Structure 1
């Protein structure tokens, strides 16, 4: 019932007309990092790094010789990540168990994004406009 904010880099896939056509009838709100600024999205950058490292070190993805083997390795990894991998940020619980506990009401509801407003203008643009306006008012 609520929009999902999907934050990505400015890669060609996410900026493409095809991608934007694909998501236009969904509840996805696009959010993009500034060009060349991976620090705008540290959570996703870290997650991608961990996933890549685990896929190579623990799941030996480089040994896959076909698309089917690769897809199977990814399926096994996704199952591991959601069902078996303990996550520090959620008290060493697994992703799926944490979600189940949340929906059962066993965990407190955190209003992390309740005060945020989704809009088409990035926050840094709004802040720069405010600063520019303040500078004009000083003159």
Structure 2
């Protein structure tokens, strides 16, 4: 498997016509929140129903939180974190400082956005493509 390191901006450019940078940021943040809530529930040894009772919400709400299908307000996040004895930290910084490079793995590197998007549309050649978390 080949590894090619490209700038994050170059990776974003590959998908620019299909996904906005704000979509990617929102998805990453929602994923982090959902995983944190899910891990806390597991650490407490509770099922969704018991967890919902502890937080005084419905089981359906816990399910939404854990499925990354919920748009949290800052107030809601603060309440959840307070009840779960979790800390929350929101960092806003210059993009150039936060993200510099991104590793893309692919058996046969696909060059160019159009070839990659065509491959994704046909679910062809990208079965082994993984865009790793960027740092």
TM-score per shorter chain, which class? under 0.3
Q: TM-score, normalised by structure 1?
A: 0.26
Which structure has more relative contact order (CA 8 Å, sep 6+)? It is: 2
Larger radius of gyration: 1
